Chain A
Amino acid sequence: MSRTYSAIATESVRTRLDELLARAEAGDHEGYRAVMTELGRDLGRALAAQLPARERLLVVCTVEDADFLTRGLIEAVAPQVAPADIVLACFWNGRRKLGSRRPIDVAPIISRYLEPLGAMQIGTVVVTKSIIRGGCVVRTNLSEILDVVQPRRIVVAAPVMLKGAREGLSAEFPRHVSKKFEYLYLAEDTVRENDEVRPGVGGSVYQLLGLGDQNSKNRHRPKIIAERNQQAASPAG
C-alpha cells in the first residue's frame, strides 16, 4: 500500500482509516457512514486546535459528505466555536466531461443550500470532502463561495488526498487566493487507477455510503439540513 500519513494521523486514526476500507470491502453502508463520521471528528478536533476564539466558520460540503464527514467535523469543532458562528453551505454537484478534443471536467451545481452569512466576517472557510482527487468539485464549490466571502483562511479538509492534488487545486486559483489554502488531511495516497485512488476511501463514496449513483445521491436530502433549521427555528436556537 503506497500510503503516507499526516502528522495528525495518530495510531487510532490510522486504525480508523483501515476500518473504513474494511467497511467498504464488506459493503456495510451503516458501518462506513459511522467510520466516515468519526474521521470527520478527527479532522474537526485538529481544526479546533488551530482556531482562534470567536472565529466564524463557514463549512462547505457536498450532499454526500453532509451527514457523515461534515457532521463529524462540525460536532468536533463545536466546543471551540459557538453553534451560531458555524454557517453551513451544501452543494449538490453533477459531474460532466465536456468536449472530446480537449475534454473539460465540470461539476455543475444542481442545487444549493446556504445559511445566512450574517453581518460578522467569516474568518475561516472549511471545505470538507471525503477524498481529494482531481479537485474539480472542490474548485467549483470553493469558487462559488469565494465570490461572496473573503475569509482569512481556507482549509481543505479530507481524510484522504491523492498526492499532487494539493498543488493541482492551488494552481486553479489566483495566487492571492491560493496562498490562504491549508490542507488538513489524514492520509496521502499515490496510486490512481481507472480514475479511482487506491486504497483511497475504498471506492465510490456515494455508493459506499449507500446513496446510490450520481443521480440518486443528488436526490438525497441530508438530515443535517432539517436538524439545523429546526434548531435555528427553536427558541433556544
Chain B
Amino acid sequence: MFDKATLLRHGATRSDLRHLEHRRLGGETGGAGYRYQGHFAAVAMLRAAAEYTDSGQDAEITQEVLCWVDDVLVRTGVAKFYQLKISPLESWGRARRKLAKEFERQHRLCRSANVTHSLHLVTPHKNRVAHFNAKAPASFRTVFSAEHFPLQRLRPQYWAAGGAANTAVRRLCAVDADSAAERDEVAARLISIWEDCGTPSDPQLVSAVLTKAWADPEVPIRRPNAPTPPRWSAVTAAASRVPGLALLLRDGFVCWEFRRPGGAKESGRIGASDSDAVARVIARVLARPPSDFDDFWREL
C-alpha cells in the first residue's frame, strides 16, 4: 500500500521508517496478539470471500502494512485499516496518547496520499467498544469505528457458533450450511490456499483465493457461475424413480439425499457440477437406472 518513498513524501521521517520496520518485524515474531491478528485476518478473508461470491466485489487483504495503523488492511473501494489491541487496559490516552497519535498520523497520511480510507480499532473486550467510539479524538472520528472480535484459541471456534465468521462461512457453503463439518472444510480450504499464497504481509486478492478453491472439484463451496451438468434432467428423473432418492444441484455442487421409509436419512456429495466425478455418476446412472438405493450406491 505504502512504500518507504511514499511515506517519506507524505511526512514520515527516516526515524519513523525505522520505527515502523521494527514494529512490523516485532509483529511477525509471534505471541497471543499476533495469533489474534491472524485469526482476525482469516475471518476478514472469509467475509470478503462471501461478499465476492455474492456480489463480485473483490477485496485485497494484507497484514503488517508499512504504516501507522498497520495490523490488517482490507481494500475494496475503501482502504480499511485495522489495529488490534487485546489488552483490556488499552485506551486512547494510555502511554502519552500513543494509540491516538498513531491513528492521527494514519489519517493524515491517507488524506495527504489521497487514499479513501476508514480506521478501525478491534478489541476482544465488548465493554471497551463503546469507550473507544465515544472517546475517539475529533480529528479522525468521522472515519473511525471500534469493533468487537472475540478472542478464541482455535480458528474453527470462530465459525462453530453464531457471529460474523459463522454467517460468512454459511454463505460460502454449497451443500449444507447447517453442517459443522462442511463449514470447517470450506473455511479450512480457503484459509490454507490463502496462507499458501504468500507471507501475511503480501497483499492477497480474495478472487484469486476463490478461483483456486473453485478449481478443486471436491470442495463443497458455492460456485455462482457453475454450469448445469449435461443430461441433468434425465439423470434426476432416473434417480427419482427410486422412492425417497433425489439427486440435487446446489450452487454448482452435486449431492444426493435418500429418505428411508422408517425415517432414517442418508445424504452424500459427489462433486462440482463440471467435475469428472459427476460426469461419471451421470453416465452410470443413465446407463443402468437404479431400481433401489443399493443400485444407486453402487454407481457412486
Contact = CB atoms under 8 A, between A and B. Distances in A.
A114 B265 contact: yes
Given A106-B184, A144-B180, A116 B264 contact: yes
Interface in B282-300: 294, 297, 300
Contact of A143 (B180, B189, B261): B180
Given A108-B185, A110-B269, A233 B160 contact: no
Contact of B264 (A99, A107, A113, A174): A113
Contacts of A172: 154, 156
A85 to B, nearest CB: 15
A145 B83 CA distance: 37
B188 interface: yes
Nearest to A143: B180
Interface in B137-196: 153-154, 156-157, 160, 178-182, 184-185, 188-189, 191-193, 195-196
Nearest to A220: B297
A232 B266 CA distance: 15
Contacts of A146: 180
Main secondary structure of the interface of A (DSSP, over half): mixed
Interface residues of A, number: 37
A140 interface: yes
Contacts of B181: 107-109, 140-141, 143-144
B192 A99 contact: yes
A173 B101 CA distance: 40
A104 B188 contact: yes
B268 A92 contact: yes
A233 B262 contact: yes
A147 B182 CA distance: 12
A7 interface: no
A6 interface: no
A129 to B, nearest CB: 16
B13 interface: no
Contacts of B266: 111-114
B262 A229 contact: yes
Most chain B beta carbons < 10 A, residue from A101, A115, A233: A101
10 contacts: A99-B193, A106-B184, A106-B188, A107-B181, A111-B269, A114-B265, A140-B184, A144-B179, A147-B180, A172-B156
Given A99-B195, A108-B182, A172-B156, 5 more contacts: A110-B268, A111-B266, A141-B181, A147-B179, A237-B262
Interface of B: 153-154, 156-157, 160, 178-182, 184-185, 188-189, 191-193, 195-196, 218, 260-269, 294, 297, 300
